[in-house]
Every structure is written in structure tokens, then in C-alpha cells.
Structure 1
Amino acid sequence: MKYAWIVILLLIAGLFIGPLWDGNTGYVLIALGNYTVETSLVAAVILLTLAVVVLRVIWQFIMRLVRGTAWGVKWFGERRTGKAQKALKEGAVALVNGDHRSASSAFNRSWQLRHDGTVALLASYAAAANEDYPQAREWLQHAPEPGQLKLAETLFSLQQDPDLAQQRLQELKQLRRDYPQHPQLLRVALHAYEQNHCWDELLESLPDARRLEVLSATELSELTEHAYRERFLAVGREGPAALAAFWRKQSRDERRQPAVRRAYLRVLKTFQLLDAADKVAARGLKRGELQLAHLLDKRLLVAGPELRDYLQTQLKKEPENGLLLQAMGQMALITNEWSLAERALRRSAELVPSQRVWLDLAQVYVAQGNSAAALEAYEKAGLDGSNRPLK
């Protein structure tokens, strides 16, 4: 940049030195009424430059005097504050729209006009969203509260390197106690708890996750089922009585959550506690807490009396319901009633064909020794005879 200025100054100097060297300096004629002023071009430029410099000095002197008055201080202060607020608003709008670079630039302008700790925090957040973590940490030095500095630094560190969660778990737990309503902290904590198998802490955080809506409905359902399944498995290793007691310990609302009931049903089947699984599945279906399609796809049905009675009652009302027929077919598979399973599953395949029903039907044909029919069923399921996807 300095070389460009040098070139420009040399060109300007040439404009004056050239005419002077040639003896033709040019002239400027200023006429005002009956008065005229004639001077050389060089002298006119010099006078004009001096006039600009003098006027600038006078203007700065006047402004300094004005700023020294109570009125001047108030006027300029309000003007500066207004500009800072305008820049802050522009930054907030850009942040909401996901334009983190523009937001960072606007927050920087606002900070230059007025040193506000809130602006520093927002600027830090915008810098972190741009993955400029050194800049984000620098902004945090201007945070209004030391606690917020610690919170933000932890969030930035874990966002930058999630593998640090194991080393900073205690710190994370303390921050969760200090800031229970912080959505970004909660999201980071949920990921860290799941990654490090801290199921109790994760279960305690689920109500906050539901209330603050930090996860989508699907993500929350999957995380809830995973956490409860792992917790039920840990308790179930102590024995059936411990698992039943832990289930009863859950609140009524928790036991009626579909994700929680699915997790418990899966663990009951894992430990072959089929009587309890029969009751949990049947009562969940009756109350609408479980979906038959999900139980069919995940093979969570058991051949228990309560579930069988429920399905038979529903079939009397809807004899052409493909899902109910598939459920009866799966239960017949469990009890090795091959003829009943074949009839139910074939009719189900006609009404609601799916990969699961064709796989179940193939299993029936294999048990009956009907290899040709089994291969055809596997093909309709999109698999070959070895359960590998068809190319």
C-alpha cells in the first residue's frame, strides 16, 4: 500500500515540477464581481491545501470544545450508543439467519463503539460458530461474569474436540447444576453422557431435554430408548426381582412413555422373562403406548396368553387387518405352529407386503423343508438365500 502512495505522490510532484522546469507554471484566474485574482497553478494548489488543513484544525478545535460541554457529551454519547445498538441489532439478525461471518463483523463494530459485555459474549458465540476458537476465547476475556467465561470456554473446547468429554465430565456435571436451563450446554452434556455411558446423569437430563426441545422428536425418542435400555440391562444383571423393582420405581408417566416401554420390553426378552414381556406388550398395545408395526419389525412379540387374547379379540373386529395377521403368524412361529404361521403370514403378505413379513414366511418354509418357496420369499424380501441383499 505504501508503494502505491509513493507512486501517486511522484505523479503529483511531476505535475508541478514539469511546468516549473519548462518555465510554464500555468495560472488560475478567480473573478468575483469587480475583483479578480490571478495566481500560478502551483501556488493555488498550495493555498488550497493549506486552507483545508487550517479548516480541519479549526473544526477539530470546535468539536473538542463542544464535547467538553455537558450537552456535547450527552449528544455524542447518545449518537455513539445509537450506532452501537444498530450494529448489535444487525449482528443479532445475522446470527438468527445463520450468517455468522456478518454477525461477527457487526458485533465487532458495536464493540468498537461501546464496550458491552453482552456484545462480547455474542461475538464469542459467532466466532465459535465460524470455528474461529482463538478469536472466540479472546472475546470471552471481556465477558461480564467469570462463570459465563468458564461455561463458554468449556462449550468451545468440547465442540472443538468432543473426545475431551471424558476428561471434563466432573466439570460438565457442575456446569449443568449451575446452568440447568442452558440449551447448548444441555446438548453437549447429553452427547458426553451417552459417549461415556453415564446413564443415570443422562436419564436425569431427559426431562430438561424434552422441555427445552434441544433435540428433534425422533432423536429424543431414540436417545430415551437407548438410555433406558442400558440402565435396565445393568439392573437386570442383578436378577429378575431387581429389574421388576426398578421398573416399578419409575413414575407412571415414565412407564407410559413409548420409548421407555419399548426399552423395558426389549430387555425382558433379552433375559427371557417372557411372562412379564407378555403383560408389558399387551397392556402397552391396549393403551396405545406401543405400536404393533414396531413390535413386528423388531420381533418383540412373545407367545403369551394376554397378548394372544388381545390379538385374537382385535382380529374378530378386523379379520382382514394385515398387521394383526402378521402378529399371529409371528406368535405361531415362536410356538412352532408352522401351518397356522404359514396361513397367517401368507394372507398378511397379500394385504400388507413388507420385508419383515416375507422374511417370517421364508422362515416358515425353511422349517417345513420347502426350499423353493423359501428362496422365493427371500427374493421378495430383497435378499438371497443367505440373507444377503440382492445385487
Structure 2
Amino acid sequence: MIKLLLLVAALIAGIVVGPMLAGNQGYVLISVANQTLEMSLTTLILLVVVLFGAFFLLETIIKRLLSVSSSTRGWFSGRKARKARHQTSTGLMKAIEGDWKQAEKLVVKAAKHSDAPLLNYLAAAEAAQSQGDTTQRDEYLKLAADIDGQNLAVALTRAKLQFRQQQYEQAVATLQDLKQNNSRNPVLLALLKDCYLKLEDWKPLLALLPHLSKLGVISAEEAAELEVKAECGLMTHITQQNGSEGLMGHWNSLNRKTKQRPELIGCFVKLMSRHNADSEAYTVLRDALKKSSDEGLISLVPALNLSDYHPAIVRLQDLLRFDSSNPSTHSALGQLFMREEKWEEAKQHFERAIELRPNVADYGFLIEVLEKLNDSKAAADLSREALTLALPAKS
């Protein structure tokens, strides 16, 4: 605009001043090397104005040409971006449909001109793994990492795909690298928990559980279940490696609250019994039954191989003083009296157990006791009754 104004001003000046100088045009001599150029002052002014105008016109033409070129490039670039978006969208739809080969082809082809190439390569990695090509999967993940090596989504996708491919150790390694800077990420922590479960790596799982519960990744009920599973799993591993002595040492190292959980007491007792440490197992079980009348624990008493069942009988009889209607206590007492061949006492407790809670196993024990008492008719009648209980009810 300024140049245009200057040009117009020059033209006006030429028109106004030109006639005034017509009678006194002056003289201009330009000498360069051996060349000379002569002209009037008026001619020089007009020449300068014409050259200036020509320069301005040439500049305008060049700008227009460059503008057209830029618009053309922009049109082609926009077309490629639109095509890439369409290919990405179609590729993701193919992935949802399970057409992994076509999905991989489309998202990779669109990656170069995609608005978010990172997502294209992550989708391609999943498609490659779904076709069983873990090498190509890792190549796509590398391309994604090259775009943004610090991106949490890339690393989490890598860990998820490794987990789905049952590469649990590799997934744990990936997640552990992330955990230092993302210790509160719920997706990371949940996936790490699942890896530990698959690997049966109980110690780190136990260490992780309080953190999971605190952040709300798992509910209190799930945390309690996982704690029992992990503690019991750890006790199993210790027993396999170090026998009943190792298990006893581990049990003594646990805090009081943990040792009071019936599920863990039951796990401990069963493991000790499998390794012929029934007496040590009963010592722990007896102490537990002083504070609890858990039916699961009571049912473990007759499963132990003890040299003397009298202390166990006395303990169970003490329980009946506080709860005479516990069928598990009556059943356990009946089984212990059978071991001591006290058939009448055993009969009374089995009858009471069946009265409180009909149970096929107790029917079987009572039938055996009746046969020992030579009461064949009662045993036969009870067998028919037990058969009715065992058969499914008719609809």
C-alpha cells in the first residue's frame, strides 16, 4: 500500500512539475567506465517512475505466483491428511471387527500423514500381535517410542500386549520401569497385580496390595481375598522348598492379625498335615479354636493324624458348651469317637449333626457306626434316607 501511494505521488508530481520544467528541463550526464548516457532531468524522473512502477508490478506478480503455489501445496497436504484420517478410521473399525491384517495395513499406511501417528503405530502393534507376529509388534512399538519415548500410553500398551501374549516376565519388567514415575497410575498397578498372579510371585503381590487398596484400584473385599490367596501361595512355596520346618518358621514370623485369619490357619494346617507335621498343626489349630468356633477350622480336627485324640475331644466338647447347635462340632466329635471306637458317643453326635444339618458325609459315618453296633435295620433305613438326600430333587 505504501509503495502504491509513493507511485501515485510520483506520478502526480510528474504531471504537476513536468510542465513547469518543460522550458527548463536541465541536463543529466551519467558516465560509467567508457560509457556515457545523456538525458534531460525530466526524462530521468519519468524513467525512475516507470522503473519503480515496473518493479512494483513484478513484485506483485511474484507474490501472486507464490500464493498460488502455497495454496496448491496446502490443498495437496490437506487432501493427504483427510485421506489419512479416513484410512485410520477405517483401520480402527477393521480392528474392532477382528480383520487384523487389513487393520494393520490401513493404520500403518496412514501413519505418515496422520494427525496422531503415535496412535496409528499402537493400533498397528495390537493388530500385528493379534496375527501372532510379535517381532513386527515390537517394531511398531519402537516407531511409537521414537515419536515420544516418554509417553506413558506407549509403555502401557507394550505391557498389555506382552501380558496378553503370556510374556509375564517381560510385562513386569516394562511396568517396573514405569512404576518409579507413575506409582499412582491405576492401570499400571492393576496390570502389575495381574502379572504377579499369573507368575505366582506372592511376595511382591503382598507388598503391592496395600497400595492398590489405598488408591481404590481394588475393593476391600478383593484385597482380603487376594491377601489370603497370596499368603497361602507363599506358604505353599515355602513348604515345597523348606518343608514343615520352613513353614513353621514363616508362620511364627507373621503378625498376630494375619495369624488369626481362619482361612490362613486352615491353609497352614493342611500344608503341615501333608508333610506329616500333624501335631504341630494341631497346636496352632487348638489355639485358634480357643478364640474362634469357625466351622472350617473345626472340620480340620478329625482330618489330623494324632497319637492321642483325647485333648482334641476335650477342646471340642468345650466348644459345645458355648454353642451346642454347631453341626460341625458334633460331626467332628463323632469322627473322633469313631477313632476311639466309642460307638454310642459317636452315634449321638452324628445324629445331632444330621438333625441340625443333613449332610451326606455324616449319614455315611452314622451308617458305619450303626453297623458296628449291629443295628442293621437302622443302618438300612438310614441308607435309604441318605440316598434320597443325595439324589437331585425332582422338578
TM-score relative to the length of structure 2: 0.52
1:264 pairs with 2:265: no
Q: Distance in 1 between matches of 2:194 and 2:298?
A: 30
1:341 pairs with 2:351: no
The alpha-carbon deviation at position 127 of structure 1 amounts to 4.9
Match of 2:177 in 1: 178
In 2 relative to 1, CA 342–120 (structure 1 residues): closer, same or farther, beyond 3 Å?
Answer: farther
1:314 pairs with 2:319: no
Q: Which SS does the other structure have where 1:283 is aligned?
A: coil
The alpha-carbon deviation at position 244 of structure 1 amounts to 4.5
The alpha-carbon deviation at position 120 of structure 1 amounts to 2.7
1:279 pairs with 2:278: no
Q: Which SS does the other structure have where 1:353 is aligned?
A: coil
1:66 pairs with 2:71: yes
Q: Is the CA contact (8 Å cut-off) linking 2:239 and 2:271 kept in structure 1?
A: yes
Structure 2 residue corresponding to 1:296, chosen from 285, 296, 299: 299
Q: Distance in 2 between matches of 1:275 and 1:243?
A: 14
Match of 1:116 in 2: 117
1:291-326 deviation per Cα after TM superposition (whole angstroms, max 9, x unaligned): 4157538965882644542343111xxx4x544433
Q: Distance in 1 between matches of 2:218 and 2:83?
A: 35
Q: Distance in 1 between matches of 2:72 and 2:317?
A: 89
Which aligned pairs between 1:29-108 and structure 2 lie closer than 5 A?
Answer: 65-66=70-71, 68=73, 76=78, 83=85, 87=89, 101=99, 105=103, 108=107
Q: Distance in 2 between matches of 1:362 and 1:251?
A: 44
Q: Which amino acid aligns with 1:108?
A: V
The alpha-carbon deviation at position 65 of structure 1 amounts to 3.3
Q: Which SS does the other structure have where 2:252 is aligned?
A: helix
% identical equivalent positions: 17
Match of 2:3 in 1: none
Q: Could you list the runs of 5+ residues in structure 1 that have no partner in the other structure? A: 1-60, 286-290, 384-391
1:98-119 deviation per Cα after TM superposition (whole angstroms, max 9, x unaligned): 8655899499287462343245
Q: Which SS does the other structure have where 1:356 is aligned?
A: helix
In 2 relative to 1, CA 323–173 (structure 1 residues): closer, same or farther, beyond 3 Å?
Answer: same
1:191 pairs with 2:190: no
The alpha-carbon deviation at position 186 of structure 1 amounts to 3.7
1:361 pairs with 2:366: yes
In 2 relative to 1, CA 293–280 (structure 1 residues): closer, same or farther, beyond 3 Å?
Answer: closer
Q: Distance in 1 between matches of 2:327 and 2:159?
A: 53
Match of 2:383 in 1: 376
In 2 relative to 1, CA 243–230 (structure 1 residues): closer, same or farther, beyond 3 Å?
Answer: closer
Q: Which SS does the other structure have where 1:237 is aligned?
A: helix
The alpha-carbon deviation at position 279 of structure 1 amounts to 1.3
Match of 1:143 in 2: 144
Q: Which SS does the other structure have where 1:265 is aligned?
A: helix
Kindly tell me the number of residue pairs found equivalent between the two proteins.
294
Q: Distance in 1 between matches of 2:226 and 2:160?
A: 21
Q: Is the CA contact (8 Å cut-off) linking 1:346 and 1:361 kept in structure 2?
A: yes
Q: Distance in 1 between matches of 2:241 and 2:315?
A: 26
Q: Could you list the runs of 5+ residues in structure 2 that have no partner in the other structure? A: 1-65, 180-187
RMSD: 5.4
Q: Distance in 1 between matches of 2:131 and 2:289?
A: 48
